[in-house]
Amino acid sequence: MNEVPGQRRLAWMTLIMASTLALACAAVAAVTAGAAVTELTRGPTRTELDRAAAAETAGRWRSWPAGRIFPETVGYAAEQGGRERAHRVGISPETRCERAVDPGLRETLRRTGCRGVLRATYIDALQGVVVTVGVVAFAGEREAVRAKAALPRTGRPSPGLLALGFPGTVTDRFTAVGRQGGLVRQAGPYVVMTTVGQVDGRPGKAVGEQRPTIFAFTGDIADRILAGLSTPERPSCESGEWRC
């Protein structure tokens, strides 16, 4: 059957439009595929690296070995001058927030988002002073700042971190009644609390007036543990510890 000229022109126009549409779709697909390849093969941005570093830092309380968080020895400035080292006596396997502090602080930690508390006890070089260090973990720096602001900062031991003594060691007399001081530090997503006393377990009331420097070294210990745990590490795609 013969086609009329108008029908022939309509068929050609339809074919041209279909071809143009197909070419356009192919071009869009090529651009999309190219963008996908670029996204998959590009290196991480600075923002992505910062987020990865923050996430890794916040997870160290779970991913790092306990002995890395609490080194076997920690240096500090001695009361008589010079440098000395405190020795770790033990590390608690308990990490629940409510098991690490006095009842009066449990709600504070819960409200501010405590994820866990790690505790270890150290003894000074002269083996006369015992200090329990508690690392309180939070999801991020904002939560840790809020927690520090809500915790007591008077230097009094109670309410505060619970003492951690180990039976059969020089710390076995270090109990709640033997606590004589405490402090709070914060950096990144962590708060570090300490409580300190003497190895004979004597109550603070029985000691009388203390020398203001006798427990000053506990600040050095807290700062060193906190710095090691909270300092971000820049991700490296060449390192086996990171996946980029």
Read off the pLDDT of residues 28-38 as tens digits, 9 standing for 90 and up: 555 555 544 44
Quick check: 190 and 216 in contact, CB under 8 A? no
pLDDT greater than 90 at residue 13: no
CB atoms within 10 A of CB 235: 19
pLDDT tens-digit map of 142-196: 999 999 999 998 889 999 999 999 999 999 999 999 999 999 999 999 999 999 9
Res. 223 pLDDT band, cuts 50 70 90: very high
pLDDT at residue 1 greater than cutoff 50 = no
Q: With contact defined as beta carbons under 8 Å apart, do 217 and 194 qualify?
A: no
Is residue 47 very low, low, confident or very high in pLDDT (cuts 50, 70, 90)? confident
Domain boundaries of the chain, sorted by first residue: 1-39, 65-230
Quick one: pLDDT band at residue 42, thresholds 50, 70, 90? low
Distance from C-alpha of 223 to C-alpha of 185, rounded to nearest angstrom: 7
Q: Is the per-residue pLDDT at 201 higher than 60?
A: yes
* pTM of structure: 0.79
Query: What gap in Å lies between CA 93 and CA 28, rounded to an integer?
Result: 58
